[in-house]
Amino acid sequence: MTSEAGQILEKLKEKKAEYEAIASTDSSVNLENFDNRIITEVLGPERKYEELQQQLRADAAAREAATTAREVATAVMVAEQSRKYDELKLQLQHMMKMFQQS
């Protein structure tokens, strides 16, 4: 068992003892889903942390994908501009040759 699992089990045992102590002195305590409430209370923040971590990873991946898409679009635009420039340069050279021949 990992140290993290051991710590969680220890927290679960402590919470169970706490709930049992309350239940033994207060008859109005509802013991239905007793274990589930303890587990939710102990693991709740850690689960929320994991959910937030997953959301942050998803957001980072989405930002990275958007950045990549922008970079690709920019590269395509630069290539198109370069192609147009080369085409115009070639036309100009052709026109200059025609004027020199006449």
pLDDT digits (tens, 9 = 90+) for 81-99: 999 999 999 999 999 999 8
The pLDDT, as a whole number, for residue 28 is: 67
Counts of helices then strands in the chain (DSSP H, E): 2, 0
pTM of the predicted model as reported, rounded to 2 decimal places? 0.46
Domain locations in the chain as residue ranges: 3-74
pLDDT digits (tens, 9 = 90+) for 20-79: 777 777 766 666 666 667 667 777 766 677 778 888 999 999 999 999 999 999 999 999
Q: CB neighbours (10 Å) of residue 15?
A: 16
